[in-house]
Amino acid sequence: MRMLRLSCGAALSNEKELRKYEEKILSASEALLAAACEGKEGCGWINLPEQNYEAVLEVADVLIDFDSVVQIGIGGSALGNKMLFECLTHPFYNELSREERKGPRFYLLDNVDPELFLSVIEMIELSRTGFIVVSKSGTTAETMANFLVFWDKLKEERGSDVAKQLIVITDPKEGILRKFVQEIGCVSLDVPQNVGGRFSVLSPVGLLSAAIQRIPIAELLRGAKDMKEKLFSRRSLKDNPAWVLSALSVEHYLKGRNMFVFMPYLSRMSSFTEWFSQLWAESLGKNGKGMTPIRAVGAVDQHSQVQLYTSGPDDKLFLILSEEKSKRNVFFPESVEENSLNALSYLWGKDMKTMLNYEAQSTIAALIKSKKPVMWMEIPKLDAYYLGCLIYFFEYVTAVTGKLLGINPFDQPGVEQGKMYTRAFMGKEGNEEKRLEAESYLRQTRLLTINL
């Protein structure tokens, strides 16, 4: 059974230029698998497809009868949840009836924006809402700020019997939230210690909210497991599309194309591009290296970005994704009575899915005509199984690409710097010097200020 097809002739000028990467990728792939077996930091995602997820299903049953569920997290503790939710549930899930949804309404608090926070408050009844708070360390400032306000409101309205409404997903042994779980006795799940946030969507971090939404997580993990077996067993560029995608990404980066445009022709995959952008940028943007991910969705962004892509600078590598068959389709009328609409007769009797896929092929053709490097990925359909395949595929490609670039794809020192300054500005004790340092940098931008 084919999981995906990658066509890349239009991004490859010479097959020999990729051969130099084959041994390096093989070595990187073997090193990743060995690191996972040894439990090394950052490599736990590799074995997530084989995990026992019964605890996730048991905790989902605790939340399933609530009217609403709010997940509080940011970055890898939110983007994966949003991606699963939007790829695999109804686009207007919260507007469906309870019988149609088969689960609670779902809201995601992933920013310290007071307008977002208050808007969620206005949509829920606190006494009928379950809460999931996700932070591995318990020190993520944005997550903990949202959590503190909700926790205070819950206690104010509900008194002491509030632990039943809260699920905590955090480090199994250490951290603020682990101590909090022990103090109040709420239900908790573990973030595996050797899994980083952006690689955590197939852990309880992403699976719990998916289970509440009745997404078949067994199928999600089965897809990831099948993809894992193929990626680690296929040991040449000829039969491993992940190796080719990784090699081409590095080759074009070295040629000055330091932007990677990912453009699925599926509205439901808009959040997938957001998840991928964090995965790609945070893993590979280090030591002066990296490829900036650019999010686009077809056919929408044909009318906003493709002008730049075809006629702008040659500094991008493109990946277009299309779905071969969809679960549902819409057919255009065979004809219409109004003579003024005869110019649209080329659409009569056709269908929307065919048109969307032709839109993808047309963009590919336009990019090739403009002499821009483009790859085309096709998946049979977007369901839980194939989404699991895609998630694992892109995690593997990202990790291997990091190894090719000679960087650690599992840390994020640039993010940590910003977190440190935020804590200093908010008055965390012992961070006074960091605040002064940040303020000195900010004064540089104030050297030129224009008011209007």
**In this predicted model, what pLDDT tens digit does every residue of 362-405 receive, in sequence order?**
999 999 999 999 999 999 999 999 999 999 999 999 999 999 99
Residues 6+ apart with CB under 8 A from 242: 231, 393, 396, 397, 400
Give residue-wise pLDDT tens across range 129-165.
999 999 998 989 999 999 999 999 999 988 778 999 9
pLDDT (0 to 100) of residue 395? 98
Catalytic residue flag (residue 153):
no
Catalytic option among 86, 251, 274, 282: 282
Helices 384-405, 270-284: axis angle to 10 degrees equals 20
pLDDT class for 95, splitting at 50, 70, 90?
very high
pLDDT (0 to 100) of residue 16? 84
Catalytic option among 90, 230, 353, 419: 419
pLDDT (0 to 100) of residue 217? 98
Q: How many CB atoms lie within 10 A of CB 276?
A: 26
Same fold for the domain at 5-33+223-405 and the one at 45-215? yes
Instruction: Indicate if the pLDDT at residue 251 is higher than 90.
Output: yes
d(CA 69, CA 66): 7
- HSE (side-chain half, CA atoms, 13 Å) at 288: 1
pLDDT class for 17, splitting at 50, 70, 90?
confident
d(CA 388, CA 382): 10
Instruction: Indicate if the pLDDT at residue 428 is higher than 90.
Output: no
pLDDT class for 63, splitting at 50, 70, 90?
very high
Instruction: Indicate if the pLDDT at residue 323 is higher than 90.
Output: yes
pLDDT (0 to 100) of residue 191? 94
CATH class of residue range 45-215: alpha beta
Catalytic option among 54, 99, 183, 303: 303
Query: Is residue 448 packed enough to be buried (19+ CB in 10 Å), middle (13-18) or exposed (0-12)?
Result: exposed
Q: What is the mean pLDDT of residues 327-334?
A: 95
pLDDT (0 to 100) of residue 14? 83
Q: Strand 374-379 vs strand 5-7: parallel, antiparallel, or unpaired?
A: antiparallel
| Cβ contact 405:289 at 8 Å | yes
Q: Can you tell me whether residue 240 is helix, strand or coil?
A: coil
Fold of 5-33+223-405: Rossmann fold (3.40.50)
Catalytic residue flag (residue 428):
no
pLDDT (0 to 100) of residue 101? 95
Instruction: Indicate if the pLDDT at residue 25 is higher than 90.
Output: yes
Per 3-state DSSP, the chain is made up of helix, strand and coil in percentages (nearest 5) of 55, 10, 30
Q: Can you tell me whether residue 187 is helix, strand or coil?
A: strand
pLDDT, averaged across the chain: 95
- 289, 276, 285, 290: which is closest to 413 by C-alpha? 285
Catalytic residue flag (residue 303):
yes
Q: In this predicted model, which residue has the larger pLDDT, 16 or 300?
A: 300
pLDDT (0 to 100) of residue 89? 97
pLDDT (0 to 100) of residue 419? 83
pLDDT (0 to 100) of residue 354? 96
pLDDT (0 to 100) of residue 158? 82
Give residue-wise pLDDT tens across range 44-55.
999 999 999 999
Structure tokens at 449: 């200020």
Tokens 């303020």 -> residue: 439
Q: What is the pTM of this model?
A: 0.96
| Cβ contact 374:364 at 8 Å | yes
Beta-bridged to residue 374, according to DSSP, are 318
d(CA 250, CA 401): 7
Q: What is the mean pLDDT of residues 116-132?
A: 96
Domain positions in the chain: 5-33+223-405, 45-215
pLDDT (0 to 100) of residue 336? 94
